[in-house]
A and B are shown apart, each in its own frame.
Chain A
């Protein structure tokens, strides 16, 4: 592990990516503190509010040490056109009091990182059709989107590694059956299989249920490819002498697979896991985008983008595309990190992935 960290430190891009991901996960965990508003608070009087500009210099050219925002006036309620009202000026407060929330789900507090004087509003990335703050929702949505990647990969890699391990170690009939099953799953057109599996369950599930359902669906599709590769690796590892040694002192097959063989595939698993997290994030986004994933009012990056499916909304209120940029940055970071890991751990693997 130390070697890996050392190598990553040398590779600047990977180092930056690691930091970036750290920050993103940190923001997601403490979303209720960093977000100025809760995810479900609607400002019905300001739908599609454009991103609020933050000023240091007021209209008369006077500099203020404390940043402030101007009020916005809804000029055209049909096309949601706003104009800046220079008469109303609201100071930005740091560590300001806002809605009550629980940090980490336990510590009750009403302090948010920043907020703005009442009755001013601050929408760093604009507001959506119900006047909900996109920036806040982005932070809350990160919880779903970022964790689905991790949990999904964890689940499917556990299944994939164990199935691949058993298949490669025992060979014969078990191998044959397991590999035929994985072949069938891999042969499905992935997107259709995802839709069909989603349709097995009612559309109206609670968001927690949907969250786990998505993980299960994505893992169900994802384990097969991994199992095949692990099987190939196990086939060669099981011929090595330390396996024979373990057998000779009477270790059980399960113990040999879990304790002796699979750890040898660890570096491959780590690389493959890093590089497949984006796939899970995309899978969640795609399902939520089509309205089959996380349901309103809960936020995920995918369902936030679903309002962008109307072309008129994209053209008039382009800030609703912000979650797409968040997805892009996250995936880029994971890709860069995975690439660096691959170079660090095993240059030979370059071809296999």
Chain B
């Protein structure tokens, strides 16, 4: 699949993707752990199985994001070293 040309990415503009990356990686993990916290707090501590949905979704969100975040972080490379 072809993407837009890359030359622009080396311009002197602080690039949106770099600023956005901490949010891209961090927010889904925070949301996933919030779901698990809810399951623990209201499900485990109060002995209710009604909150198992939170656990399932929390795990899916965390694993699903880590699976794609690791290659993204690996793909981050300093071009000056490569050159």
A and B interact physically:
no
